[in-house]
Amino acid sequence: MLETQIQVRIDSIKSPNDEHLVGGIDFIWREGGIIALTGSSGAGKTLICKSIVGILPAQLKFIGSTVYRHDREEQDLARLPESKRTEWNAGQLAYLTQETDLALNPIRKIGKSFRDAMRLARSKVDRQAMQSWLRKVDLPADVLERFPHELSGGQIQRVLLAIVLASGTRWLIADEPTSNLDKVSQQKIVDLLSALNQELGLGILLVTHDTTLWKRLTNHVIEVSPGSEQVSSLQPVENFSEEKVMEISNVSFAYRKHWWGKKVPVLNQVNLAISEGDWVGLIGASGSGKSTLAKLMTQLVPLQDGQISYRNRPLQRLTMRYQSREIQMVFQNPYTSLNPRLTIRSQLQDAVPSVDWSTQPWKPLLKAFQLEDLDLDRIPATYSGGERQRLAIIRALLKHPKLLVCDEAISSLDPHNQWQTLRILQEISASGRMGLLFISHDITWIRQVCHKIYVMDQGHIIESGPTSRIIAQPAHPVTQALIAAAMPW
């Protein structure tokens, strides 16, 4: 009897204009095996994943094969018609995408999406079983009654993992499954993947740029690019004033599970301040309320209780044009801010409507981010996740904002591009007095670039102070756990 395996061979994946995007890939993925696929942003890791699953964009040309072998059966999955391929994937092969905002229907509750996925996979899972799978990924049972927008990016990732596991899949492709999670949650997901591999024989193809992550799971590593360059440490920008650019006072926020039901608190009496040109870090576990606070700061959700002031004026009294010029936000998923139907060039032009476009004011930023050779006349879906993220940052910077809210804005980038992005933001901040709220689970970066840290847990600011003190002498147990997980000295 032959072992069950999937042999992946990718000679080339080409763009519509016949440009070679990625190739030279040849490996065998054995049933129950764990493989790490690593490389820099833009190297083609996600394209490789999509080719294995059979969901490459139609305009791309795939040259290669994906051969499934079981007993004496041998089948090239890449040659199957779309309907047959979807049928084969169901309950066999699952793809956990890093683009969590696109994975769940925004107008259906999690429970309904869970049942829909089980129906497609031909699996019978009752409500009790769904709750059990949610608990396995450290989520409460009442998540089934929530809509996707009521969950953080990290919580949605865990919901997707629960759905995949409940379907009985034998092969899992996890594309940056922990990129938007805090270090404590990352460890839980890694431990869970390891346990599922050992208990269920789940085969895992793990896409990550986090070296410490894959080293805990496997020694079988496929490097798609030469690797990340060595980077030097960063230091906080010192050119900032004491003048407050934004003050948040006693802000609370809650949502309703149903229009007739009780409100569920998300934020409780939050106080936070950002000075002109200053960098402030906001850390906390996934689902602690960080993204909700960011949306309140940019009026993406309405203020319910408390006060938010921008330059001593109530935020809600600012005109949208003025706010757009002064305050910009970069989301953890660029699909949230980039229009999927418009080319990148048109979206960069929209960011500077009153400027002569023939001068191409975005060119210096593209060069700084090493994207000057990028074809801008393409839609966002044709770029890598890392390229999209950097383009979303460039689009925000074209406005020359005085306050930039970064919600896990670098989590999808490899370490070199993370360093490069922060260095560019520091230069812009120092020259233009741009304040920045840096929401991140990566305390190692926050330690290098932020003067002050706020720690959030279950909607409360539980601790705040100078970065050096919070890192060296954390007072709250939650802060101690976050720092211990991120920096295990």
Instruction: Tell which residue, 439, 440, 438, 443, has the closest CA to residue 483.
Output: 443
pLDDT 10s digits, 67-106:
998 887 889 999 999 889 988 888 789 998 877 667 788 8
**Burial zone of 385 (CB within 10 Å; 0-12 exposed, 13-18 middle, 19+ buried):** buried
The arrangement of strands across the sheet holding 203-207 comes to 93-96, 171-175, 203-207, 34-38, 221-223
**Mean pLDDT (whole number) for 12-22:** 86
Sequence-distant (6+) residues with CB within 8 A of 261 are: none
Half-sphere exposure at residue 401, Cβ-oriented, CA atoms within 13 angstroms: 26
Select the more confidently predicted residue: 309 or 225.
309
Label residue 323 by pLDDT band (50, 70, 90).
Answer: very high
Label residue 246 by pLDDT band (50, 70, 90).
Answer: very high
What pLDDT sits at residue 226? 39
- 365/123 Cα distance (integer angstroms): 49
Tokens at 339, concatenated:
């229009």
**In a 3-state reduction of DSSP, which class is residue 160?**
helix
**In a 3-state reduction of DSSP, which class is residue 64?**
strand
Give the 3-state DSSP-derived string for 222-234, with helices as H, strands as E and coil as C.
EECCCCCCCCCCC
Burial 437-476 (b: 16+ CB within 10 A, else e): bbbbbbbebbbbbbbbbbbbbebbbbbbeebeebbeebee
**Mean pLDDT (whole number) for 26-34:** 89
Select the more confidently predicted residue: 153 or 417.
417
Select the more confidently predicted residue: 275 or 259.
275
Instruction: Tell which residue, 450, 371, 402, 36, has the closest CA to residue 215.
Output: 36
- What pTM, to 2 d.p., does this model score? 0.65
Complete domains list, the chain, with CATH: 5-223 (3.40.50.300), 244-486 (3.40.50.300)
What pLDDT sits at residue 228? 37
Write down the residue that tokens 């789940």 correspond to.
Answer: 202
* Cβ–Cβ under 8 Å, residues 341 and 348: no
* Residue 38 clears pLDDT 80, i.e. is over it: yes
* Cβ–Cβ under 8 Å, residues 27 and 35: yes
Q: What is the mean pLDDT of the chain?
A: 86
CB 250: neighbour CB atoms within 10 A? 11
DSSP 118: H
pLDDT 10s digits, 147-202:
988 887 778 888 988 888 888 888 999 988 877 677 777 777 788 888 888 888 88
What Cα–Cα distance (Å) separates residue 148 from each residue in 117, 132, 166, 367? 15, 19, 19, 36
What pLDDT sits at residue 252? 96
